[in-house]
Structure 1
Amino acid sequence: MAATRDTVESRRVLRTHLPERADTLGMSVREADLGLRLDGAGHGLLDTTHFDTVRFPPPPWALTAFTAAASDGELAYTGYRGNAAVRATCARSVSGLLGVDVDPDREIIITTGTQGGLFATLSALVDAGDVVALADPEYLFVERMLRFLGARVVRVGMVEHPAGPQLDLAALETAARAGVKLVLTSNPNNPTGTVYTPETVRGLAALAVRHDFLVVVDELYCRLVYDDVPFTHLAAEPGMGERTVTLLGGSKTESLSGYRVGVAIGPAPVVDAIEQVMAISCLRAPAYSQHVLTHWLVDDVEFVRARVTELAALRELSARRLRRVGGLVVRPGAGTAYLWPDVSALGLDDVRVARVLQERAGVVVSPGYQFGPSGHGRFRVCYAREETGWAAALDRMVDALGDAAVTS
């Protein structure tokens, strides 16, 4: 007898489908993803859910460092928290970045990319029934991870600000008074691209100290910031050294995604707990890949400066072209390589937009529902693409959206 879905998938996996979102989406998030074939494969279309790593390849030293490590079989196995020499180098460079002293033996762990680091961190800290406050919108897989772990998720929205939407600290304080164990956000925010102002970061820190909760902050894009906008690291704020877990890596700014390495920095007891999760789930981050981190934040300063300049030009091109669609609102953020257009005035929902762009423009985008309830009527597009082909794709997108808006 063939097994049914309910008997194949555990209840914890079924929770990650976010079935309650059917009230607004008309189906679960998982069903919407399946209908749009959003499985990371691209299926022959131009896939803007991630960076174009052909146009924006890793620095030359990445392959050199990996190859040198892979030629030495002695480096195949490391401690669960990563190669000691690599951690020592990373601790020095990360200390300079964050403005805090990072102990290489106790406060840093090499993870299986930032995604793996995020899951290991949440698994180490969150029990079933714990209340976790999550920014809305926020990176698409975070709520699914939290639901897998059985957490109770409270969404905290954004408020408008001249510098771009900011975390609603008043709403967060209300949630904190009711009791939260953990707050999670990204800065710069994925998907909006907004960079939190120093005032927002200080306010978040003050709330964490006052209500004694932990904060996990994904700072993957902290070096991909435009127009000399100041970036404030939460871990360096007073009282936050013992309350912050910072996730970092080179997967986006330096295009190191294929190497699957990142780092988590936090208080020693938290890093110890993350190490236990790493040990039982994957043993360690890819051992040879770990060695690319000896150059990350060290030998890539000019590389990153040039990349930010190139991406800034693409940001301008993308926003300018998409604004040709009457009613479509595009407000570029000060960080990341994403735009977060609002199509609600076109009479199109985000599922319809994603389908139209696939079928009529040959382009895969990330529909807004993936990032939280506030994402309805929006989509995320990554503009880190080869310029000529991307310009043509933008023209196809403009035509497709314009036609769909007329016929909706």
Structure 2
Amino acid sequence: MPQPLSDRTNSFTDSVIRRMTRIAMKYDAVNLSQGFPDFDPPREILDRLAQVAYKGPHQYAVTWGAQNFREALAEKQSALMGRTIDPNSEIVATCGSTEAMMAAMMTVANPGDKVVVFSPFYENYGADAILSGAEPIYVSLKPPAFQFDVDELEAAFKQRPKALILCNPSNPCGKVFTREELLTIAEMATRYDVYVITDEVYEHILYAPNQHTYFAALPGMWNRTITCSSLSKTYSITGWRLGYIIAPAEIIDRAKKVHDFLTVGCAAPLMEAVVPALRFGPEYYADLQEKYTRKRDLFLGGLDAMGIPHTDPQGAYYVLLDISEYGYDSDLQFCKSLAREVGVAAVPGSSFFREDVNHLIRLHFAKRDDTLNEALNRLESMRGKLKK
């Protein structure tokens, strides 16, 4: 009999988000579970991709990202973050923000270190901590506004964590942290000497009057912040798996080495093809915000018309529905029934909460209008088909 497998990964399950996509496919349900759009990337990217298909590059790029990709990304993010970012020493391109977060965790954390994670959280964060040998400390974001309790946060900092993970705007609850909240976190991070690893993939998807503040741009925070993000959501290219880390040179130097042994590098043709998008002007991001605002209003308005209680996202493109009235003991079972009987796929809220939460499900609205309308039409039958 072979020896037992890794204790570290013994408690892992498959991703519930990706599992719900497979269930959606099985029942031909409208997939509002896994957060990817069903509309095309900008034409400029597709045109450049067509050229690259014949002209290349098709071989390895520099491990930490092609030169022109890093230069275009540095120019874009420098304007947003209020400092000049060196494309050669302060950026590493990664295979999506998933790898960026993993590389950041492995760069910072030693086995036995503690890491603060806000709950609700994107499901990978706990796994990232465990794979790094670290122990997550969860701090609640309390609904409906998903604010944190300052005393609870400080109690977590008093445990002397190595890092805090900050998703802003937040998946799954759509919270946009205010500047005042971020300054509170920054003060504690300084006082207790803690790194902050940010996940900012929804940085351009916001709803007025909310504004995104880059944590690294706060006074004194550049030296202790590891900014992780992705091009997936901004340019509707989730399958391209292009992400990045921005941080001070001494941190990036270590992150480059971790990245090299994790994945070697990003797809060279895709880095080349996305460069035109990185040079878009501010009008693209204003149009993106307007586009998602319309989608949010369409979808949430439809939920309101049916009297379905839900959260009101400030950013990102997720909404949590309250399913308390349906009488299910398991939110996962509810989601399976929803896909099978109603034809809409969602993610059980328990996937995102450390707390005992079994009455919420997550849907997303990064879809064409006709897809959202079809989902709303199907949801009209939800009470009749699922209420016990």
| Same fold? TM cut 0.5 | yes
Bigger relative CO (Cα 8 Å, ≥ 6 apart): 2
Residues of 2 paired with 1:82 and 1:13: CA distance?
30
2:130 corresponding residue in structure 1: 147
* 1:5-404 equivalent positions in 2, closer than 5 A: 7=4, 9-17=5-13, 30=14, 33=16, 42-43=25-26, 44-51=28-35, 53-54=37-38, 56-73=39-56, 76-159=59-142, 164-299=145-280, 301-324=282-305, 328-348=308-328, 349-374=330-355, 375-404=357-386
Contact 1:137 1:371 in 2 (8 A): yes
Equivalents in 1 of 2:272, 2:148: separation in Å? 36
- Residues 240-261 of structure 1, C-alpha deviations (whole Å, 9 max, x = no match): 1011111122211210212211
Contact 1:234 1:244 in 2 (8 A): yes
Range that drifts further, 341-350 or 353-362: 341-350
Given residue 391 of structure 1, which amino acid in structure 2 is its aligned partner? Answer: N
Q: Deviations over 1:157-199 (max 9, x none)?
A: 11457xx323433312111112111100210000011111111
The percent identity for this pair of structures is 26
**TM-score by structure 2 length?**
0.90
Shift of 1:358: 0.9
Deviations, residues 118-152 of structure 1 (Å, cap 9, x unaligned): 12221222222110110100112211222222221
Partners of 1:321 and 1:117 lie apart in 2 by 36
Q: Find the residue that maps to 1:229 and give its secondary structure.
A: coil
Tell me if the contact between 1:340 and 1:381 (Cα under 8 Å) persists in the aligned partners.
yes
* Residue 40 to residue 310, structure 1, CA distance change in 2 (3 Å): farther
Tell me how far apart the structure 2 counterparts of residues 35 and 109 of structure 1 sit (CA, whole Å): 27
Change (3 A) 1:255 1:33: closer
CA distance in 1, matches of 2:116, 2:380: 36
2 CA distance for matches of 1:34 and 1:92? Answer: 34
* Alpha-carbon distance in 2 for matches of 1:206, 1:35: 37
TM-score (norm 1): 0.86
Secondary structure, aligned partner of 2:378: helix
Number of residue equivalences: 385
Q: Is the contact between residue 247 and residue 264 of structure 1 (CA under 8 Å) also seen in structure 2? A: yes
CA shift for structure 1 position 154: 0.8
For structure 1, the 5+ residue unaligned runs are 18-29
CA distance 1:179–1:360, shift in 2 (3 Å): same
Q: For 2:280, what is the secondary structure of its paired residue? A: coil
Shift in Å at residue 390 of structure 1? 2.2
Q: Secondary structure at the match of 1:216?
A: strand
Could you list the runs of 5+ residues in structure 2 that have no partner in the other structure?
A: none
State how far apart, in whole Å, the 1-side matches of 2:362 and 2:290 are.
21
